[in-house]
Amino acid sequence: MTTTPAPFGARLRRAMDERGPLCVGIDPHASLLADWGLNDDIAGLERFTHTVVEALADRVAVLKPQSAFFERFGSRGIAVLERAVADSRAAGALVLMDAKRGDIGSTMAAYAATYLDPASPLFSDAVTVSPYLGYGSLRPALDLARESGTGVFVLALTSNPEGAEVQHAVREDGTTIAATMLDHLRAENAGAAPMGSYGAVVGATLGSSAGAARADLAINGPLLAPGIGAQGATAADLPKVFGAAVRDVVPNVSRGVLRHGPAVGALRESAARFAAEVREAVGS
């Protein structure tokens, strides 16, 4: 007898309530490996990744490996990523695969199966996707996420300055591309409780530029907010950027935590400090 998996949104809400509202990236780029005294090779990648998972997977709500930093090592890097995903999930962390995939038809379906099919060795709790071949192109991932109890985070208002030329563009009906994506996600999440499984990526560094879209950020789903820490945003900025939707924010910290490695204790202390600051800022 098969059972319907608990939806990602419900699992994410529980994890944030129990472990604190924080997502920590696993970003083994070459300069960070060097800062840890590791070589930029498969041994360094493996040591770095294992240390982050050991330090944080049993205590943070979400771990977010950046797939590109593993892919650059070929099949051996992917093997490290597979183990990181499995070990993180076994320790209780939700895994958000930062892959930013976007395509059409059978290719999009294959990307979805890679990360959202329980039979895949890279099966994760959620994946980031790019909607700029049209929101409808994401349908294979959206449908598989609903079926498998996983989640999807759609790029909407990203923190990189180049994103504005697409995301702030205005359609014929007067709405921006970003607002259109948020509208689609709101429809996907309609009626979900305690929170939908279809999220948006909205940069915590946007400041007042997000003000016009603030009302639209309430999508009844999670809002992944990169930019806390090394990129300049702080936990105190979250209410200003996200307004009434702030309780649904999943702040993402990468270098702000990872720079304290390779000491396991220092990584844990840094993550705990960020989680506490976010709790205080959002009042949860």
User: Under 8 Å CB-to-CB from 161, ≥6 apart: which residues?
Assistant: none
Q: Which residue bears the tokens 């202390």? A: 269
Counted residue by residue, the chain has a size of 284
C-alpha dihedral sign at 217, 117, 58, 45: negative
Q: Is 240 a catalytic residue?
A: no
Q: Which of 89, 100, 255, 273 is catalytic?
A: 100
Could you tell me how far CA 16 lies from the centroid of its own chain?
A: 13
Q: Considering only CA atoms, which of 6, 52, 4, 61 is closest in space to residue 279? A: 61
Structure tokens given for 214: 């603030």
By three-state DSSP, how is residue 131 classified?
coil
CA distances from 111 to 73, 79, 105, 216 (A): 19, 17, 10, 28
Neighbours of 264 (CB within 10 A): 14
The DSSP secondary-structure symbol of 261 reads: T
Q: Considering only CA atoms, which of 185, 96, 108 is closest in space to residue 139? A: 108
CA–CA dist 250, 271 (Å, integer): 13
Active site residues: 100
